[in-house]
Chain A
Amino acid sequence: MSDNTNHHIVPYRTYGLILLLLLVLTGTSVAVTQIELTRWATVVALLLASTKSAFVLAIFMHLKFDQNIYKIMATLIILLVAVVIVLTFLDYGFR
Chain B
Amino acid sequence: MSSNNTNHTGYKSYLEEDGGRKGIFKWILSTDHKRIGLLYLYAMMGWFIVGVVLGLLMKLELIAPGKTIMGPQAYNATFTVHGVIMIFLIVIPGLPAVFGNFMLPIQIGAKDVAFPRLNLFSWYIYVLGGILVIISLFGNGPPDTGWTFYAPYSFKTGTNMLPAALGAFVLGFSSILTGLNFIVTIHRMRAPGMTWFKMPLFPWSLYGTAWIQLLATPVIGITLLMVAGERILGIGFFDPAKGGDPLLYQHLFWIYSHPAVYIMILPAMGAISEIIPTFSKKTIFGYKAIVISTLAIAFVGYFVWGHHMYTSGMSGAALWAFSLLTFIVAIPSAIKVFNWISTMHQGSISTEIPFLWAASFIFIFMIGGLTGLVLGSLAVDVHLHDTAFVVAHFHFIVFGGVGFAFFGAMHYWFPKIFGRMFDKSWAKTGWITFSIGFVTLYGPMFYLGIMGMPRRYFDYLDEFHGPNIISTMGALVMIAGFLIILINLIKSARHGEKTTEMNPWGGTNLEWQIPTPPPLENFDEIPVIDKATYKYD
Interface residues of A (CB under 8 A from B): 1, 69, 77, 80, 83-84, 87-88, 90-95
Contact check, B302 vs A92: say whether CB atoms are below 8 A apart: no
Is B303's CB within 8 Å of the partner chain A?
yes
A-B contact pairs, 17 of them (CB 8 A): A1-B188, A69-B187, A80-B302, A84-B302, A84-B303, A87-B321, A87-B322, A90-B315, A90-B317, A90-B321, A91-B251, A91-B306, A91-B314, A91-B315, A94-B317, A94-B318, A95-B315
Contact check, A93 vs B188: say whether CB atoms are below 8 A apart: no
Besides the contacts A77-B215, A87-B303, what 20 more A-B pairs have beta carbons closer than 8 Å? A1-B188, A69-B187, A80-B215, A80-B302, A83-B302, A83-B303, A84-B255, A84-B303, A87-B318, A87-B321, A88-B251, A90-B318, A91-B251, A91-B306, A91-B314, A91-B315, A91-B318, A92-B315, A94-B315, A94-B317
Q: How far is the CA of A1 from the CA of B316 in the complex (A)?
A: 53
State which residues 305-339 of B face A: CB under 8 Å.
Answer: 306, 314-318, 321-322
A92 to B, closest residue via Cβ: B315
Give, as a whole number of angstroms, the nearest-CB distance from B238 to chain A.
15
Q: Is the interface of A mostly helix, strand, loop or mixed?
A: helix
Interface size on B, residues (CB 8 A): 16
Q: Which residues of the partner chain A approach B187 to less than 8 Å between Cβ atoms?
A: 69
Q: How far is the CA of A94 from the CA of B315 in the complex (A)?
A: 6
Contact check, B215 vs A94: say whether CB atoms are below 8 A apart: no
Q: Which residues of the partner chain A approach B314 to less than 8 Å between Cβ atoms?
A: 91
Q: Which residues of the partner chain B approach A93 to less than 8 Å between Cβ atoms?
A: 315, 317
B321 to A, closest residue via Cβ: A90
Q: Which residues of the partner chain B approach A95 to less than 8 Å between Cβ atoms?
A: 315
Closest 9 CB pairs of A and B: A94-B315, A91-B318, A94-B317, A90-B318, A91-B314, A95-B315, A90-B317, A91-B315, A90-B321
Q: How far is the CA of A93 from the CA of B188 in the complex (A)?
A: 43
Q: Which residues of the partner chain B approach A80 to less than 8 Å between Cβ atoms?
A: 215, 302
CB within 8 Å for A87 and B306 given contacts A80-B215, A94-B316: yes
Give, as a whole number of angstroms, the nearest-CB distance from A34 to chain B.
29
Give, as a whole number of angstroms, the nearest-CB distance from B326 to chain A.
12
Give, as a whole number of angstroms, the nearest-CB distance from A56 to chain B.
20
Give, as a whole number of angstroms, the nearest-CB distance from A35 to chain B.
30
Q: Which residues of the partner chain A approach B255 to less than 8 Å between Cβ atoms?
A: 84
Give, as a whole number of angstroms, the nearest-CB distance from B117 to chain A.
18
Q: How far is the CA of A77 from the CA of B187 in the complex (A)?
A: 18
Q: Which residues of the partner chain A approach B215 to less than 8 Å between Cβ atoms?
A: 77, 80
Give, as a whole number of angstroms, the nearest-CB distance from A3 to chain B.
11
Q: How far is the CA of A80 from the CA of B187 in the complex (A)?
A: 21
B325 to A, closest residue via Cβ: A87
Q: How far is the CA of A93 from the CA of B316 in the complex (A)?
A: 10
Q: How far is the CA of A90 from the CA of B318 in the complex (A)?
A: 5
Give, as a whole number of angstroms, the nearest-CB distance from A60 to chain B.
22
Q: How far is the CA of A46 from the CA of B187 in the complex (A)?
A: 34
Give, as a whole number of angstroms, the nearest-CB distance from B342 to chain A.
31
Q: Which residues of the partner chain A approach B247 to less than 8 Å between Cβ atoms?
A: 91
Q: Which residues of the partner chain A approach B317 to less than 8 Å between Cβ atoms?
A: 90-91, 93-94
Q: How far is the CA of A88 from the CA of B303 in the complex (A)?
A: 10
Q: How far is the CA of A15 from the CA of B229 in the complex (A)?
A: 39
Most buried by A among B187, B188, B315: B315
Q: Which residues of the partner chain B approach A69 to less than 8 Å between Cβ atoms?
A: 187
A77 to B, closest residue via Cβ: B215
Give, as a whole number of angstroms, the nearest-CB distance from A45 to chain B.
23
A91 to B, closest residue via Cβ: B318
Q: Which residues of the partner chain B approach A90 to less than 8 Å between Cβ atoms?
A: 315, 317-318, 321
Q: Which residues of the partner chain B approach A91 to less than 8 Å between Cβ atoms?
A: 247, 251, 306, 314-315, 317-318
Give, as a whole number of angstroms, the nearest-CB distance from B368 to chain A.
25
Q: How far is the CA of A80 from the CA of B321 in the complex (A)?
A: 16
Q: Which residues of the partner chain B approach A84 to less than 8 Å between Cβ atoms?
A: 255, 302-303
A83 to B, closest residue via Cβ: B303
A90 to B, closest residue via Cβ: B318
Give, as a whole number of angstroms, the nearest-CB distance from B148 to chain A.
18
Interface string of B247-282 (1 = CB under 8 A from A): 100010001000000000000000000000000000
Q: How far is the CA of A76 from the CA of B302 in the complex (A)?
A: 13
B312 to A, closest residue via Cβ: A91
Q: Which residues of the partner chain A approach B251 to less than 8 Å between Cβ atoms?
A: 88, 91
